């Protein structure tokens, strides 16, 4: 599948457009350490691509007397030194798709203020027709609700859309919604994204073609 016709695109945000994963991992690791809660790399990695309150709810028994909402607020108040720069090719791809008239959305597990801030920093917020956040859905990834909402709001059949995702939960959500999915290995090894239709190292491996269509030259 070297060339993919595209009538609409849905981007994940963390790890797909903006490289926030090092900062997020540091934040969740600090939260568990501050509460002397047992954790390992796999547990911290499980936050990737999912709504944080849902993940915290699965482990709230490790934090006696606290709720998932309390813990989320505490983690959000941390000052984390790790920078969160753009994924290579991200802004250029969004601008190029917009110039071709492709309707665009973001589907993120983050909350709205957080997402809006990152997209403004990337300089592409005004190019996106819709931003679907954790507050806009009742079921987070890997449930397809967010991607289905993006297709509905864009007025594009899911089967004619391409989703870009960096996390297994996001890939599962996009595929369940009926979209073609391109996995980006910014936070995961290629093997973790095996369910994606194509896998790329970053977004510089996406070439825009008239049609419009995407030529993908990735690792698989």
Active site positions, annotated: 12, 14
As beta bridge partners, residue 141 has: none
Instruction: Assess contact for 203 and 87: CB atoms under 8 A.
Output: yes
CA 12 to chain centre: 3
Instruction: Name the token pair of 217.
Output: 């030259």
Residue identified by tokens 């790399």 is 41
Q: Are strands 213-216 and 8-11 parallel, antiparallel or unpaired?
A: unpaired
Cα 66 vs. chain centroid, distance in angstroms? 27
Task: Please tell me what DSSP assigns to residue 135.
Answer: G
- CA angle in degrees (0–180, nearest 5) for 122-182-130: 45
Q: DSSP E strands: which ranges in 26-172?
A: 104-107, 130-132, 161-165
HSE-CB of 6 using CA atoms within 13 angstroms:
31
């Amino acid at each position: 599948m070297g060339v993919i016709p595209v009538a609409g695109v849905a981007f994940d945000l963390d790890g797909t457009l903006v490289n926030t994963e090092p900062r997020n991992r540091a934040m969740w690791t600090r939260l568990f350490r501050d509460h002397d809660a047992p954790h390992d790399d796999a547990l911290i990695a499980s936050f990737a691509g999912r709504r944080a309150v849902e993940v915290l709810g699965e482990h709230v028994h490790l934090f006696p007397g606290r709720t998932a909402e309390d813990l989320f607020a505490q983690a959000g108040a941390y000052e984390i030194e790790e920078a969160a720069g753009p994924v290579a090719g991200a802004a250029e791809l969004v601008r190029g798709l917009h110039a071709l008239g492709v309707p665009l959305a973001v589907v993120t597990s983050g909350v709205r203020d957080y997402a809006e801030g990152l997209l403004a920093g990337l300089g592409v917020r005004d190019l996106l027709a819709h931003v679907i956040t954790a507050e806009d859905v009742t079921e987070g990834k890997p449930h397809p609700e967010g991607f289905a909402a993006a297709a509905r709001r864009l007025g594009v059949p899911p089967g004619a859309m391409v989703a870009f995702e960096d996390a297994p939960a996001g890939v599962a959500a996009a595929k369940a919604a009926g979209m073609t999915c391109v996995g980006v290995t910014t936070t995961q090894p290629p093997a973790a994204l095996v369910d994606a239709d194509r896998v790329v190292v970053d977004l510089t491996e996406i070439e825009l073609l008239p049609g419009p269509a995407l030529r993908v030259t990735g690792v698989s």
